[in-house]
Structure 1
Amino acid sequence: MLAGLRPYLVFAGLFSLAMNLLLLAPPLYMLQVFDRVLTSRSDETLLVLSVAVAMALVSMAALDIVRAYLLAALGTALDRRLGPKVLDGLLGEAARLGSREHASALRDVHCLRRFFSGSGILALFDAPWLPVFLLVITLFHPLMGAMALAGALVMLTLAFVNERMTRKPLERSQAEGRRAARFIDTSLRNAEVVGALGMLPAVARRWVELNEVALVEQTRATRSGAAISGLTKFARQFIQSAMLALGAYIVIDQQVTAGVMIAATILLGRALAPVEQLIAGWRALVEARGAWRRLSQLFAAPATAEPHTALPAPEGRLAVENLVFGVRGVQRPIIRGASFSLAPGESLGIIGPSASGKSTLARLLIGVWRPSAGAVRLDGADVSMWPRESLGPHLGYLPQDVELFAGTIARNIARLDQPDDAEVVRAAQRAHVHELILRLPQGYDTELGEGASALSPGQRQRIGLARALYGTPRLIVLDEPNANLDHDGEQALLATLHGLKAEAVTVIIVAHRPSLLGGVDKVLVLREGAVEAFGPRSEILSRVVRRAA
């Protein structure tokens, strides 16, 4: 994930090295003031030393600013690089009936950006230079070096204990928090049902149950972290006091000067500060590490193989070959060995009882879901292997539940691309929804809010049909396209189907109402995921009628 971004980290590390070396300036300045200036009473020496330490501090401040800018730029670059990839992966995962383990991946990207742009990562860059400070203290006096090393080991031990005690509870708290958030998202999508059926108290109780688990784990981690944080602060102050006492002892013993005592104590405090900061900001570090792990898993998923050669626009010849589709955890496949074919311009009606797999078959036909076995071929090419950006313009799809995006109607019909006015109007006219759109407050420029709640379900379905017809699709799959239509809307739909027939567009209709099947060429009966019958419309429908009688 950091390919191309490593220079940011390399330069940040180099700046950290320079800054930590410059941090030696104040203690050494104090050492020289105590041991040289005060004894020699030389104004010139004091001036030179003061100018030198001022230059070192200015340089350190400049490097600190540049390092902060560099890490902020790294966070922004990481967000810009991963954001589109994560969104593509999430939409692909959602469309392919995948798990929801990565549903919070965009939040994970933002978490990494905040971490790289915040102060928590600075401690990670400063902590590795602890041995440099220990070496300088050892050069002052071996006993001081031994004391500093012992103090550093104590602080590192506390950091290790903090990791062991808080990591698991924090990870469980984050996982349960994401689970509670997903439950709220689901509840908001079903707000009408929740309100109509009086489910709000039950929804609230369920959320409290889920959130309580997260709170318990968070409290456990907080208590452990607070205890370790308190011990860390005590340990750091105690170690510095012990260093001061040791320094005073060897000063009295005339082994070192008072300046060495002060300088060593300050250096030790500076050496231990990043470790204390790491422990104090451990939660942010755990969150960033968890986000990194989840994103790594997301990007480690096998990529869809894509043809290396651009394929010509399809004519609409469809072949379904021994199609099988199942989901993990369900023993019986949803689609079992389906096979049929359509010539360019033919139309097919798919019928069958509820839960027979009709909508699943529709999704497989357009390549949104990948089959477990078999293939769906459009003009000989496997649609699940065809790059979606290349295949999409040649397909039209109207799902059962039509969702429109925030934006203008024109933008929705144009599939969120920059609208081609002529093509948008043409698609609306082919869908016989042009007049309906013109009656809206601003016509094609009418802004739709989130969920397009200002439109009725029937209006959304008709605009969704126009979106399916945008451009020059050669295969159109309509899943119960008249589910929300009134009589006028259904007549407009029939006129649209008649027009598509005249244009020799291959059309597949999943339907419950037989009124839509009057103009189709063939009918497929699907039962329990298997093709029960397939053939000319009159033959299959008469067989279905005889069986029903």
Structure 2
Amino acid sequence: MSAFLRSCRRIFWALAAFSGMSNLLMLTGSFFMLQVYDRVLPGRSIPTLIALMALATVLYLFQGGLDLVRSRISGRVGRYLDEKLSIRVFDALVRMPLKTRADGDGLQPLRDLDQVRGFLSGGGPTALFDLPWMPIYLGVCFLFHFWIGVTALVGAVVLVGITMLTETRTRGPARASSRLAVSRSALAIEGRRNAEVLQAMGMRRQAALRWREVNVKYLAANERASDVANGLGGISKVFRSILQSLVLAVGAVLVINQESTAGIIIAGSILTARALAPVELAIANWKGFVAARQSGQRLDQLLKILPCEEERLALPAPGETLVVEHLYVGAPNAERPTLSEVSFALRRGQAVGIIGPSGSGKSTLARALVGVWPSVRGRIRLDNAALEHWASDALGRHIGYLPQDVELFEGSIAANIARFDVHATAAAVLEASRAAGAHDLILSLPDAYSTKIGEGGMTLSAGQRQRIGLARAFYGKPFLVVLDEPSSNLDSEGEEALTQAILNVRCRGGIVVVVAHRPKALEGVDHVLVLGDGRVQSFGKREEVLNRVLRNPVPLKVVAEGPGGGR
């Protein structure tokens, strides 16, 4: 965010220049009244009045044009911000769960971007650029008369004090409101995602009460911030009205004592109001300014934690080995690693089944193998190149991944299988679906490959989502295919298709890693790795390892019932 603002320095200088000219032209009304009262009326000169009116009209039109230009500049700055940062912010939003345990619904970065863009596109920058002109107006008031200047200066000091009070009083409620807004949205999304459980188990009222509790706190914090801003804004308006009348009263005293003219009274009153208008406008926009500043600080912190990936040299496609060396892996921000000292190696055409009790680290290893969770220590290598040596987009083309909880995206089945690749061909999509044994299943759907999945794939059954997710994992013939509980929602026909798919990957020279609880999922592998307490208990040929496991009294055996956890 700071870098963006620095890149806009020329634009802001131009905006400041337009604001300066506009503020100079705002003196038109004061000087017009001064000339009317002190020159036109005493001289009873209609031609002078017409000339002054024509000149004032031209200046007013010019001022209107300048205001239009600077408002459009502000709007373009907001759009420029979005064009420069929206992709980075979205990328950071997607990567954030992989690096940190983010609270809330995870959409706060997008809301922060909208907040900053809205402030830049609105009247906020204009109010800030008008503030430096207040001393100029006060100086002109002093030129009219010393006591008119003193009166305006006292009023300005009081309004600046109100502005500072607004800042200190709104800071806490604004932060609380922002924090509670995140929790409020997270609970709403959580309720929508678990609608079936809430309905089936009679939990809708409890969920609504939880949401209402947070919502009440959010409304209270928002109300406190609004009350402070609106209350102090109202006080500033009342004070401005009083001050304008006070300037007239001071001017009247000066006229009575023959120290000033009637024109100076009127012009001074108008000029005082103009001098204090930027402060009042700043107070009115202060809530937005505070929110935009907090949003900018959060975006700065986010983009600092998750910087752009460095450009990496394109590496040749892997095709020989997968080597895991002394690997330590833990969840984001975990105090200690879930996996410790894991080492094994596979060559092309081989497949390994990973088994072990729930909580032994099977899914953690799967996430590490595809680069989702970075290693604390140790390396994962594809053909001697460590995963961190690859750009994520380049690495993704050589990896197929089926997570435990299959998530599909809004769009057609074909687009999901093709990973939304704009250059995907029908032949590649069909090849992937046939490799996963999902072709006939997809043809049975109403619109076949053009069937719209809907949000999260909710229009499909769990088994259908898993088969389509499996096809997505096989798209593009990736060298390394990692399947986490691939048979958890499959029937016997689907399990047979899965076994054949694993064998097909092996036949074309790929490597397959299968996390499994069901024995059927291991039929296509030739190696088995046993995990227990986050460490490798055994690794070797499938028959040898399974025989040892069956003789081992420690509960590391493969079970046939239920998909289980394994995280």
TM-score under structure 1 normalisation? 0.96
Alpha-carbon distance between aligned partners in 2 of 1:55 and 1:111, rounded to the nearest angstrom: 37
Number of residue-to-residue matches in the alignment: 549
Report how far residue 221 of structure 1 moved. 2.5
Find the counterpart in structure 2 of residue 28 from structure 1.
31
Structure 2: distance between partners of 1:534 and 1:285: 60
* Alignment check: 8 A CA contact 1:369 1:384 kept: no
Cα deviation per residue 1:42-100 (whole Å; 9 max; x = unaligned)? 22211221111111111111111111111111111111221110110111112345434
Note the residue ranges of structure 2 that are not aligned, 5 or more in a row: 555-567
Partner of 2:340: 336
**CA–CA separation in structure 1 for the residues paired with 2:145 and 2:332:** 66
Q: Does residue 194 of structure 1 match 2:198?
A: yes
Going from structure 1 to structure 2, the CA distance change for 1:477 and 1:97 (only over 3 Å counts) comes to farther
- SS of the aligned residue for 2:540 comes to strand
Q: 2:358 aligns with which of 354, 359, 378?
A: 354
Mapped partners of 1:515, 1:207: distance in 2:
43
Task: Determine which of 530, 533, 538 is the counterpart of 1:533.
Answer: 538
RMSD: 1.7
2:72 — aligned with what? 69
Compare 415-424 and 56-65 and name the one that shifted more. 415-424
Q: Which runs of 4+ in 1 moved over 6 A?
A: none
Distance 1:305 1:341, change over 3 A: farther
Superposed displacement of residue 329, structure 1: 6.6
Matched-pair contact (CA < 8 Å) for 1:171–1:286: no
Match of 2:461 among 444, 447, 456: 456
CA distance in 2, matches of 1:401, 1:282: 45
Specify the SS of the correspondent of 1:397.
strand
Q: Does the CA contact (< 8 Å) of 1:97 and 1:369 recur in 2? A: no
Q: Which moved more, 1:158-167 or 1:187-196?
A: 187-196
Deviations 1:434-460 (A, max 9, x none): 122122222211222112222111111
Following superposition of structure 1 onto structure 2, how do residues 465-484 of structure 1 map, counting pairs within 5 Å?
465-484=470-489
Give the aligned partner of residue 402 of structure 1: 406
Unmatched runs of 5 consecutive residues or more in structure 1: none
- Decide whether the 8 Å contact of 2:101 with 2:333 is kept in 1: no
Partner of 1:123: 127
Which among 132, 135, 153 is matched to residue 136 of structure 2? 132
CA distance in 1, matches of 2:100, 2:400: 20
Identity between Structure 1 and Structure 2 (%): 45
Task: Give the distance between the partners of 2:552 and 2:543, measured in 1 at CA.
Answer: 14
TM-score normalised by the chain length of structure 2: 0.93
Q: After TM superposition, give the deviation of residue 548 of structure 1 in Å.
A: 4.6
Looking at structure 2, the residues matched to 444 and 330 of structure 1 have their Cα atoms a distance apart, in angstroms, of 41
**Residues 311-359 of structure 1 deviation map (CA, whole Å, 9 limit, x = unaligned):** 1111151111221123467544211121111112211110010111111
Which residue in the other structure is 1:386 paired with?
390
Q: How far, CA to CA, are the matches of 1:498 and 1:343 in structure 2? A: 14
Secondary structure (helix, strand or coil) at the match of 1:448 reads: coil
Structure 2 SS opposite 1:534:
strand
Cα displacement (A) at 1:22: 0.6
Asked if 1:95 corresponds to 2:98, the answer is yes
Cα distance in 2, alignment partners of residues 318 and 306 from structure 1: 24
What's the counterpart of residue 238 of structure 1? Answer: 242
Q: Separation in 2 of the partners of 1:454 and 1:307? A: 39
Alignment of 1:469-508 (within 5 A): 469-508=474-513
Cα distance in 1 for residues equivalent to 2:99 and 2:342: 19
Range with greater deviation from structure 2 (38-47 or 262-271): 38-47
Residue 436 of structure 1 corresponds to 441
> For residues 133 and 39 of structure 2, what CA distance do their matches in structure 1 show?
28
Aligned to 1:106: 110
- Alpha-carbon deviation of 1:385? 4.2
**Partner in structure 1 of residue 564 of structure 2:** none
Secondary structure of 1:407's counterpart equals coil
Decide whether aligned partners of structure 1 residues 307 and 77 sit closer, same or farther in structure 2, where only a CA change above 3 A counts: closer
Q: Which residue of 1 aligns with 2:43?
A: 40
Query: Is 1:15 matched up with 2:14?
Result: no
What SS does the corresponding residue of 1:338 show, helix, strand or coil? strand
Return the letter of the residue paired with 1:349.
G
Amino acid at match of 1:523: V
Rounded to whole Å, the distance in 1 between the matches of 2:82 and 2:320 is 40
Inter-partner Cα distance in structure 2 for 1:111 and 1:80: 15
Distance 2:73 2:389 in 1: 40
CA–CA separation in structure 2 for the residues paired with 1:227 and 1:32: 38
